[in-house]
Each structure stands twice: as structure tokens, then as C-alpha cells.
A and B are shown apart, each in its own frame.
Chain A
Amino acid sequence: MARDKHYVIIGNGVAGNRAAAVLRERDTDNRITIISLGALLFYNRYELPRIFNGARDWRDYLVNPPAYYEDNRIVVRRNCQVTMVDTQRRCLTLAHREEVHYDSLLVASGGGANMPIALGDFEPLLNHFNSYRTAMTTAEALPAGGTAILLGGDILGIDIARNLAAHGYRVVLVPDEQLFWPHKIAPESYPAYLAVLADMGIEVVEGGPIERIEAGPKGVPRRLLTMADGRDYAADVVMPFYGLAPSLEFISGGGVDIERGLLVTPELRTTDPHVWAAGDVCQIWCVEENAYRFYYGWKNVKAMGEIAARNMTGDHETFHTFLDEALTIEDQGGLRSSFWEYD
């Protein structure tokens, strides 16, 4: 008996799950496995700010009920870290030395928080908000009415900032060149956007190099941020938002081309015929701009997952974004970013 074809998807986010669903629609027989670093089934990261409304049970965030995976025969391997991909043998190695063979591989491992190298020394003192676990840790570290310092100020950070401010926390934003990333804002329109942030209750202070971040003595406030020019700010948590960096350490050296992300054609193929990529991990060749570029946001990523799955099963569709990448100021105040939208 011929061995079933095995589709393996690395990454349990929007792209990975959309791809799994489309693969199952188009191929009812073969094996599909999602490999996830985390302990949870696919949950909606965009809804994590609801933690501040008191939604602290992980079940509140699940997109699909557990039965969905059973019904669709999609195996989700949780708590599994891929350490290596061998494209010659078409097999990947997990951290516990297990080898998993694939016939078609989709890399949808997304992006981790991009950290300026200078902040590396302070990593243990920083709080993230990019997964259920880190969001819970951050929420628990913040007493009611406490202070949060946000560094960088990418658009995901602005989303957290406005939610924190709306829930009565004091929010201090130390902007960097990643302010509003990945939106591109003309320097002359900065004042208008900063005014909107001030209306939301976010204190925007002058940016600049950061000298150090220290843990305060036991009790509150717990963090002390000192700028190179001597200014200092106390807070309960310091959160970095410097954009995303693709998570692809496991595949570097695996025979597929990488610049900052996995380089893929508009059909989302990598340089290996059996490996596709989708989501924040891939840099797609953009015909209009004559350059490899990243596309972010739930809708883009979901579309990539779908197109990758279609192409893995024989189609030749190309990815085009339809997302308006402008950051707009709404009439009644407040901002609207296409990167905040999800369905």
C-alpha cells in the first residue's frame, strides 16, 4: 500500500490553520499535521486585549473547538519545537530528536518580537504581549491603574496602548523609528498622529537611545527605565514593540533561500520544490515594486495560507494584497489600521 501523502505545517497561527482547512477541503484523504511551539490550539491573538476585560480563560480565545481538528483529521502537535529541516531527505527534526517526514511542507512560523540588539541585555526585564502566555504574565504584573512603558510603538503596540489607556492604566510611549510600523507615515504628518495618541490618553515622550532598564527594589514600581540623556521613568512593565522578526532559525542552512524572511515567489514557493511559506515569515516577490517584501495583518496572512494550500494541491495562484496600508485618523478621533482588522 502506498504511504499517505503527508502535509506538514510549521506554525499554528492564522496562515497555518487557514492552510490546513483549505488542504482538507481539497484533499480529503491524506495526512495533515500542524506543529506548534505553544501549548494551546489555534487562538485569536488579536483578541488578547480582552484580558483587560477579565477574559482570562484560554478557552475564551480558541478559534475552533477541539472537535474541529478531530472531525477534519488534522493532527496538532503542541509543545513541539522544530530544530532543523532537512530538505534533501524531506524530514524535520523536533527538539526531542524525533524526525517527522513530509511530502509537502508549509512554513508558517510567523514572526517573533523584533528586538534592537542594544536591548538584548535587558530581555529578562521586558514584558511581551504576543502570545496568550506572555499576555497573561503581563496582565498579572500590572496592578489596577498601574503604569506601562511601551518602547518602539509599532502598530501592534499602539493597539495594546489604546486598550491599556481605555482600561485606566497609565501608558507611556517611548517612540522609535518603528513608530506605527508597518505603516509608513510622512514625517510632516507625525504631529497629527501624535495628537490622536494623546487624545487616547497615551503619554508620548521624546524618543532616543535607552541607557538601561533596571528592576526596582521589591514592590512597586518594578521597572526603572533610564534614557541616555538622563531622563528616567518608573513603571510596572516595560513592553517592547519594535515590529516583527521572522522566526526561521530552524530552517537556516536547510537549503532554502533566506534574506530577512524566507524568499518566495508570488505563488509562495520557496527555492525548494517541496517547501512553501506563508504569513509573517515570508518575503514575497512583489512584481509591482520589483522587490521582496513582507505583508502583514490577519487578512493578508489568511489569504497567504489559503493560496499556499491551493498551490500545494496543484493550483498556480499568486498572492496579491488588497489591504489599504494607510493609517487613517477617524472623524470622531481615534485611529484605524488595516492591521488591526480580523474576521
Chain B
Amino acid sequence: MNEQRGKIYVDEHEDFSRTQGRGTRVVTPVWFSTDPRDIGWVRLNIPCQAACPADTNIPAYIQTIADKRYGRSYELNRFANVLPSVLGRICSRPCEDVCRHCWPGNGEAVDICHLKRAAAELKATDHRITENLFTPTGKRVAIVGAGPAGIAAAHDLSMLGHDVTMFEREAMPGGMLYYGIPAFRLPRDVLSVEVRNALRLGVELRAGVAVGAGAGETRLRALLDDYDAVLLATGCMAPSPLPLRGNEDDAAIVRANPDVEYGLDFLMGLHRGVDKTVNARVAVVGAGYTALDCARVARRLGAEQVTVHIRTTEKYIPVTKDEIAETKREGVTIKGLRTPVSLVTDAAGTLVGVRFVQNRLGGWRANGRRQAIPIEGSEFIEPCDTLLIAIGQKTVNDYLDVDVELDRWGNVRIDEDGMTTTNGLFAAGDFVNGSSTVIDAIGHARDLALKMDTWLMGRVRRKLVVKIEPVEKPLRERAFDFIPRQHVPTEPMKTRLVDLDREAEQAFDAATAELEAKRCYLCHHKYEIDTDNCIYCNACIEVAPRNCIKLIKGVEIKQDGAYGALDEARKWNNVGAIWIDNNECIRCGACYAVCPTQCISITKNEIFYQNV
């Protein structure tokens, strides 16, 4: 126990409307801790939240869905990422890969992403958004690029009281959300509402205004002079060129052929309103979301045979399993272990196929992806009439007219305060980290906004705290462990493939969302045994459904003070304490119910930003 725990606050974000309605207002003692042990506990024991680049309080928003408090759930999401309805559809879901529910023997991960969407759709139609507004600071900030990173930063900076102006080259805000992701994955009305909500705190959006060196374009140097700080969030807007064998200017070869196009150009053209066509047999090379999106768009444009060619295998591509399954259901074939080496054209120069070389799997690359090693002399030709290339994206830097240090991939370098080598010039999102995901960009931008605020104001104005609140009784039942993973309904193929805008996946209804939400292990609930009151009767160990309560000699104390690995005692005379192993605990409450001395306590542990 530490001293800060004596203080009692009333949580101003908590929604008391229900209890007020019945005339009784229950205020539970809540304390806010900055103790590294408490923050460390949250980081260590809530794997989904630790994996989320935006630090979303996942178990709390899922639990509020089980309570049918959808508005609160939406707000909990919105604290971390300003576009919940968007991310509830197209997130790359790093959280679901580490969900404790998919650990060995525990079954399948909770459908975290679709629950986020369920909260957004099931909330009351007159739901009011909560914003934690600071007083105006008089500081002016310019943001270049209205993609996910720009929007997230704009929202947070304007919430913090700064005057934000956004510059966007395209006609619509949203960046890759609007111009990259097809509408059948992200309906544009949903995107538009979320973006407007994010920018309505007074952000001035100058769409159609390009920052660059060209004629009539706004100069970056002028922005630096006019504003107190400038944030670059221009993302990765150029396609990576396809490395063909023995050719020096691959980009020119690709551009010269009307049946070959970069996937990024293809999708951006489509969303700018250009009528795109594809031939009957479409080959897509690439293994990311853009590649799959291109393939799915091609199917909707009438291509009969669409094949995605990847260098490794399906298992190693950075796309969710659901996405792969939906793509295949739409009739797209995925073929693995091949790298394109050249285009095959007939005498008239028309594309007739792509020559590939067969790969075998190699070791692991530094970024955690699998290597593919081409096999000498194993070339083969796959016939196709249209080739779409989606092997990656990189930054565009030609608009920089100030001194900014770039790394070898063209990504801008920032220091630990988020600033580039030019004073007052910050950068966030893919422009810094290279081509990544929407949630990565939002998470990074949110972090950057806080750092910019600290630089602008000269002091830290928001700090990380753990809100710790007693929980009256276990909220899970053993029966919840036997609910299988629920699946969202999907649009039938008949209506799906004829319409570029019809959404492929639909939302959970309230009943299914509740079932799915109940599956969550509520990892933010901490079960603790008060060893001073424990009589070592063993009742909890006997009733435990798993090996979750342990007799230990001691606990590893990590560098930040958080508790680490348990040192289990093999003999009775070595027992130093009885301990609930939070890695094993599924919050079933069996131990809590059986304890004769009531020495087991439950607390809810959530990370929040507190204003200081």
C-alpha cells in the first residue's frame, strides 16, 4: 500500500445517471495511483491494452457492453482513439493476437474489434460526447495531412486548448481512410461522422490546400513562421516500386504498361471518382491490406479470376485471419511462396502474365516478418491480363523546404520529445514510422500531441494514473467460459459483389454483443489475497478451476517496481505467501466465494490521463 491510496476522489467521468434515476447515488471510494507498481501491473496483466498502440482500455469497454452501457463503452474507446466506429471495422487488431482467451488451452480470442463497433452502433441515438476541454492557450498549431495521425493529433491538441489548423492536399479529410480503404470495408458516412466529431472542437480544416514546393502551394517554411508549432502527418503516400530482375527503371516499365498499376494509385483513383476497370484475370502482388483490398475491389469490378501472389505464406502475412477468410469467400485465390521477377508481354506489348520465382521460407527479419528465399532456376509464368502491385508504401519528402533529417528509408527522424531536427517542427504517424496501420498512426499521434503540448506550454499538463476502484463481487461466471466466439453476420455474396459500397461485414446485435462481451476475462480486475488475514486453509486452491492460486517463496520485483515472475514453493516450510497468478486467473470468482475469512479482494485497475 502506498500513501496516495488514502486520497478519495469522485470520478468525474463516471456515468451516474442510472443510479441517480433511482434516487440513490452510490459513490465508491476510488483512488488514483501513480505508483510504478500499479502502472506496471496494468501493463503486464492486461495484454490486449499493452498491445494496443493507442492504449485502449479494452476490458473496461467490453465489460460496459456486457452491462448494456454502450454510450460509456463508446466514450472509453474515444478517450484512446477518436474514431471508434472506424477502428471497430478496419483495425489490424494486435490486441486479439495476444488476448488471454487465445492462450494455449483457453480457446479463441475475444472479438475485441467488432465489439468496439457494436458499442458505437448500439449507443443511444442522442448520445452526447464527453470532451475534457482545457482553457484556450492562445497557441497556434498547424498540422500537415488530415489522415488518421493528423486527425487524432488535431483532436487532442484542440482539446488541450490550442488553435489547430489542418492542411490537406485532397478534397476530403481522412487520408488513407478515405482514399485507400474501400467503402465496403468502411462506409463513408460512418467515416464522415467520426471525423467531424473529432474536428468539431474548433479545428480549422483547409482541405484542397497543398503544402509543397509547387506553384500555388503553401510553403512549409511559411507555416513554421506563422504558427507556434507544426506537425507533419503526411504518411506514406507513394507506392514502393516493384523490384524486377535486371531492370534499372522498374517504375517506368510499370508505368508504360496500361494493364499494370500500383495498387495505391488504383485505390486512390477509384476513391477520387475515376472509373476504374480491370480485365478478366487479375494478379495482385503484395501481402498487406492494400493488396487484399485491391483484389476485393477487382472482384467487384467484374474480374473473373483474381489471385493474390505472396512471397511467404498466408500464415506470415500481416493481415487478420477474418480478412483473409472474407477475401477468399469472395472468390479470391491466395498463392504463396513466389516473388515476381518480370512482366510477360506478347508481341504487341500487351501484358499476358507475370514470371515468378519459387521461394522457400527462410529465417526471420528484424521486423518480425518471415523471410522468403528465391530458389535458383525455379521460374514459372502465371497468366494474367491486369497486374496490381501493392508491395508497400513509402514517404514523400519533396515538399520539405526546411532542414529535416531522414533515415535511409526516407522516414523522418524525431527525438524523444517528438521533434524533428528543426525547432518547432514535429512529426507523427507513418511519416515517422513507415507504412504501418491506422491504430499505430493514431496511437503515435496521440502520444505526439501530448509531447507537443508539453513543449508549447513548458510543463506536463496530463499524466498517466491508474484508477483503482473496489469491485463489490466477481462479475464473471464460470458458465461464461463455455460461450464460443461469436461471429458477425456478413453480407451474402449475391448482393455483396455487385456493389462497391455495400458493407461486407455487419454489426453484432445487442444479444450477440452481450454474449461475446461476457467471454472477456476482465483482465483489469485484480484478485488479491490479503496474506495477513489468510489462514492458509487451502480452500481456494482446491476450488480453483485451474492452476491459478499458488504457494510461493517470493516474487520477482522488476526494475520499475512491478511484480514479475512467481517463485513457487515446492515444500510447505518454504511458503512465504499465497498468491493469485494473474496469468492464469480467469476471474471466475470461485476463490472469492469460498474464502472463509474474506481475505480475497477485487479491484478494477484502469489507466487514465489525469489533468495536472
Query: B-contacting residues of A (Cβ < 8 Å)?
Result: 83-84, 93, 97, 117-118, 209, 211, 228, 252, 257-260, 263, 271, 285, 290-292
- B residues 304-325 with Cβ under 8 Å of A? 313-315, 325
Contact between chains at A290 and B377 (CB < 8 Å): yes
Complex CA–CA separation, A98 to B372 (angstroms):
36
Complex CA–CA separation, A209 to B304 (angstroms):
13
Please tell me which one of the listed residues B104, B315, B336 contacts residue A252 in the complex, with CB atoms under 8 A apart: B315
Give chain A residues whose Cβ lies under 8 Å from the Cβ of B360: 263, 285
Contact between chains at A84 and B313 (CB < 8 Å): no
- 1/0 per residue, CB under 8 A from A, across B476-502: the answer is 000000000000000001100000000
Give chain B residues whose Cβ lies under 8 Å from the Cβ of A84: 104-105
Contact between chains at B337 and A292 (CB < 8 Å): yes
Contact between chains at B377 and A259 (CB < 8 Å): no
- 1/0 per residue, CB under 8 A from A, across B322-352: the answer is 0001001100000011000000000000000
Contact between chains at A290 and B104 (CB < 8 Å): no
Contact between chains at A228 and B337 (CB < 8 Å): no
Among B328, B361, B377: residue with most chain A CB under 10 A: B361
Give chain A residues whose Cβ lies under 8 Å from the Cβ of B234: none
Contact between chains at A97 and B105 (CB < 8 Å): yes
Contact between chains at B313 and A258 (CB < 8 Å): yes
Closest residue to A285 on the B side, CB-wise? B360
Complex CA–CA separation, A209 to B497 (angstroms):
14
What is the CB-to-nearest-CB distance from B549 to chain A, in angstroms, rounded to a whole number?
Answer: 17
Closest residue to B379 on the A side, CB-wise? A290
Report if A83-B328 is in contact (Cβ < 8 Å); known contacts: A258-B313, A259-B313, A291-B358. no
Judge whether B129 is part of the interface by a CB distance below 8 angstroms. Answer: no
Complex CA–CA separation, A93 to B106 (angstroms):
13
- 1/0 per residue, CB under 8 A from A, across B43-78: the answer is 000000000000000000000000000000000000
What is the CB-to-nearest-CB distance from A203 to chain B, in angstroms, rounded to a whole number?
Answer: 26
Among B314, B360, B380, B494: residue with most chain A CB under 10 A: B360
Contact between chains at A263 and B361 (CB < 8 Å): yes
Place the interface of chain B in its size category: 10 to 19
Give chain B residues whose Cβ lies under 8 Å from the Cβ of A290: 358, 375, 377-378, 380
Contact between chains at B325 and A117 (CB < 8 Å): yes
Complex CA–CA separation, A195 to B315 (angstroms):
41
Contact between chains at B105 and A93 (CB < 8 Å): yes
Complex CA–CA separation, A117 to B377 (angstroms):
35
Give chain B residues whose Cβ lies under 8 Å from the Cβ of A211: 494
Report if A291-B378 is in contact (Cβ < 8 Å); known contacts: A228-B494, A271-B361. yes
What is the CB-to-nearest-CB distance from A233 to chain B, in angstroms, rounded to a whole number?
Answer: 19
Complex CA–CA separation, A271 to B313 (angstroms):
15
In the assembled complex, 24 residue pairs joining A and B whose CB atoms fall closer than 8 Å, in A order, are: A83-B104, A83-B105, A84-B105, A93-B104, A117-B325, A117-B328, A117-B329, A118-B329, A118-B493, A209-B493, A211-B494, A257-B313, A257-B361, A258-B313, A258-B315, A259-B313, A259-B314, A259-B361, A260-B336, A263-B360, A290-B358, A290-B380, A291-B378, A291-B380
Give chain A residues whose Cβ lies under 8 Å from the Cβ of B315: 252, 258-259
User: Which 6 A-B pairs rank lowest in CB-CB distance, beginning with the nearest?
Assistant: A290-B378, A259-B313, A117-B329, A257-B361, A259-B336, A84-B104
Give chain B residues whose Cβ lies under 8 Å from the Cβ of A291: 358, 378, 380
Give chain A residues whose Cβ lies under 8 Å from the Cβ of B329: 117-118
What is the CB-to-nearest-CB distance from A243 to chain B, in angstroms, rounded to a whole number?
Answer: 14
Complex CA–CA separation, A171 to B328 (angstroms):
30
Extra 9 A-B pairs, beta carbons < 8 Å, given A83-B104, A263-B360, A290-B375:
A84-B105, A93-B105, A118-B493, A252-B315, A257-B313, A258-B313, A271-B361, A290-B377, A290-B378
Give chain A residues whose Cβ lies under 8 Å from the Cβ of B337: 259, 292
Give chain B residues whose Cβ lies under 8 Å from the Cβ of A97: 105
Complex CA–CA separation, A117 to B492 (angstroms):
12
Query: A-contacting residues of B (Cβ < 8 Å)?
Result: 104-105, 313-315, 325, 328-329, 336-337, 358, 360-361, 375, 377-378, 380, 493-494
Complex CA–CA separation, A247 to B80 (angstroms):
40
Give chain B residues whose Cβ lies under 8 Å from the Cβ of A118: 329, 493
Complex CA–CA separation, A83 to B336 (angstroms):
26
Closest residue to B314 on the A side, CB-wise? A259
Closest residue to A271 on the B side, CB-wise? B361
Complex CA–CA separation, A217 to B105 (angstroms):
40
Closest residue to A211 on the B side, CB-wise? B494
What is the CB-to-nearest-CB distance from A271 to chain B, in angstroms, rounded to a whole number?
Answer: 7
Complex CA–CA separation, A118 to B375 (angstroms):
35
Closest residue to A84 on the B side, CB-wise? B104
Give chain B residues whose Cβ lies under 8 Å from the Cβ of A259: 313-315, 336-337, 361
Give chain A residues whose Cβ lies under 8 Å from the Cβ of B493: 118, 209
Give chain A residues whose Cβ lies under 8 Å from the Cβ of B358: 290-291
Closest residue to B329 on the A side, CB-wise? A117
Complex CA–CA separation, A292 to B313 (angstroms):
12
Give chain B residues whose Cβ lies under 8 Å from the Cβ of A257: 313, 361
Complex CA–CA separation, A292 to B314 (angstroms):
15
What is the CB-to-nearest-CB distance from A39 to chain B, in angstroms, rounded to a whole number?
Answer: 23
Complex CA–CA separation, A117 to B325 (angstroms):
8
Complex CA–CA separation, A259 to B312 (angstroms):
8
What is the CB-to-nearest-CB distance from A40 to chain B, in angstroms, rounded to a whole number?
Answer: 27
Complex CA–CA separation, A45 to B493 (angstroms):
36
Complex CA–CA separation, A93 to B557 (angstroms):
31
Closest residue to A97 on the B side, CB-wise? B105
What is the CB-to-nearest-CB distance from A149 to chain B, in angstroms, rounded to a whole number?
Answer: 21
Give chain B residues whose Cβ lies under 8 Å from the Cβ of A228: 494
Complex CA–CA separation, A70 to B315 (angstroms):
41
Complex CA–CA separation, A271 to B362 (angstroms):
10
Complex CA–CA separation, A321 to B329 (angstroms):
34
Complex CA–CA separation, A223 to B494 (angstroms):
22
Complex CA–CA separation, A285 to B373 (angstroms):
14
Complex CA–CA separation, A271 to B328 (angstroms):
28
Give chain A residues whose Cβ lies under 8 Å from the Cβ of B325: 117
Complex CA–CA separation, A271 to B315 (angstroms):
15
Give chain B residues whose Cβ lies under 8 Å from the Cβ of A252: 315
Complex CA–CA separation, A83 to B104 (angstroms):
8
What is the CB-to-nearest-CB distance from B474 to chain A, in angstroms, rounded to a whole number?
Answer: 24
Complex CA–CA separation, A211 to B495 (angstroms):
12
What is the CB-to-nearest-CB distance from A161 to chain B, in angstroms, rounded to a whole number?
Answer: 26
Complex CA–CA separation, A290 to B377 (angstroms):
8
What is the CB-to-nearest-CB distance from B479 to chain A, in angstroms, rounded to a whole number?
Answer: 20
Give chain A residues whose Cβ lies under 8 Å from the Cβ of B361: 257, 259, 263, 271
Give chain B residues whose Cβ lies under 8 Å from the Cβ of A117: 325, 328-329
Complex CA–CA separation, A263 to B313 (angstroms):
11
Closest residue to B377 on the A side, CB-wise? A290
Complex CA–CA separation, A195 to B375 (angstroms):
43
Closest residue to B546 on the A side, CB-wise? A97
Closest residue to B104 on the A side, CB-wise? A84
What is the CB-to-nearest-CB distance from B296 to chain A, in angstroms, rounded to a whole number?
Answer: 14
Complex CA–CA separation, A258 to B313 (angstroms):
8
Closest residue to B370 on the A side, CB-wise? A257
Give chain A residues whose Cβ lies under 8 Å from the Cβ of B375: 290
Complex CA–CA separation, A93 to B337 (angstroms):
30
What is the CB-to-nearest-CB distance from A246 to chain B, in angstroms, rounded to a whole number?
Answer: 12
What is the CB-to-nearest-CB distance from A82 to chain B, in angstroms, rounded to a whole number?
Answer: 12
Closest residue to B357 on the A side, CB-wise? A290
What is the CB-to-nearest-CB distance from B107 to chain A, in angstroms, rounded to a whole number?
Answer: 10
Give chain A residues whose Cβ lies under 8 Å from the Cβ of B104: 83-84, 93
Complex CA–CA separation, A271 to B337 (angstroms):
16
Give chain B residues whose Cβ lies under 8 Å from the Cβ of A83: 104-105
Give chain B residues whose Cβ lies under 8 Å from the Cβ of A271: 361
Complex CA–CA separation, A130 to B358 (angstroms):
33
What is the CB-to-nearest-CB distance from A88 to chain B, in angstroms, rounded to a whole number?
Answer: 13
What is the CB-to-nearest-CB distance from A314 to chain B, in angstroms, rounded to a whole number?
Answer: 25
Closest residue to A209 on the B side, CB-wise? B493
Complex CA–CA separation, A118 to B337 (angstroms):
25
What is the CB-to-nearest-CB distance from A256 to chain B, in angstroms, rounded to a whole number?
Answer: 10
Complex CA–CA separation, A300 to B96 (angstroms):
40
Closest residue to B315 on the A side, CB-wise? A258
Give chain A residues whose Cβ lies under 8 Å from the Cβ of B378: 290-291
Complex CA–CA separation, A252 to B314 (angstroms):
12
Closest residue to A120 on the B side, CB-wise? B329
What is the CB-to-nearest-CB distance from B390 to chain A, in angstroms, rounded to a whole number?
Answer: 21
